[in-house]
Amino acid sequence: MQFGPLSLDGNIYVFAVVGGFFILAFLFGEGRLKRIATALLAGFFVADQLGGFLAKQLGQSGQALDPAFVQLIVLLVVTIGLSLGKAASVGGRFGLRSFILAFLTAATLIGYTQSYLAEEVATKVLDEYNLIALAAENRLWLLTAMTVWLIIITIWKRKVKDDDDKKGKKGKKKK
């Protein structure tokens, strides 16, 4: 895969992104992963809205860059910038909720970064790498699933052990 001047094997890219998100979820917990997923959503929006404009402005100043590469850089800057800072985390807790969010976030990132490749490279990548082609073809479904899952896990709070301490056998409070 060719991201502007950067070159990377597609299979290594897929497994690095998916593995990276699983490691993030395991080490830093669901709170940090939710923050990264939300930052990624904002990054997609900003990259789509400002990437072409920035490439055009850079082209007028004499530094011609591929608009897709500029969008990728904008996506990375916005996502990293919004992911920094303090987040409620329960490091080491890697439950089903975190697993699903890590997978959906990684798959969505893979599907959308494929669209930031040059046209001839994107066609070659889709022909050669089945996992990237699968993510790229279903990227709107993946984006929808990630957004819905973020909403679900925000509303559906994780059960905390302290909630059970003051209740009897039938869930009623002890006096």
What is the per-residue pLDDT across 2-40, written as a single tens digit (0 to 9) for each? Answer: 555 556 677 788 888 889 888 888 887 788 888 889 999
Gyration radius (Cα) of the chain, Å: 20
DSSP state of 114: G
Predicted confidence at residue 39, as pLDDT, reads 92
3-state class (DSSP) for residue 3: strand
Q: Please state which of the ranges 23-32, 43-52, 54-63, 88-97 shows the lowest mean pLDDT.
A: 88-97
Put residue 8 in one of left, alpha, beta given phi > 0 → left and psi -120 to 50 → alpha. beta
Of these ranges, 39-43, 64-68, 86-90, the one predicted with the greatest mean pLDDT is: 39-43
User: How far apart, in Å, are the Cα atoms of 25 and each of 8, 123, 139?
Assistant: 24, 32, 22
Q: Is the pLDDT at 145 greater than 90, yes or no?
A: yes
Please, what is the end-to-end C-alpha distance for the chain in angstroms?
Answer: 65
DSSP structure class, residue 174 = P
Q: What is the pTM of this model?
A: 0.76
Q: Which two tokens stand for residue 110?
A: 């893979």
| Res 150 pLDDT > 80 | yes
Per-residue pLDDT of 121-132, as tens digits, reads 778 888 888 888
**What's the mean pLDDT in 69-84?**
88
- CA dist 92 and 74 (Å) reads 31
Q: What is the residue-averaged pLDDT of the chain?
A: 80
**65 phi and psi angles, rounded to 5 deg:** -125, 155
- Our measurement of the distance from residue 114's CA atom to the centroid of its chain's CA atoms, rounded to an integer in Å, reads 13
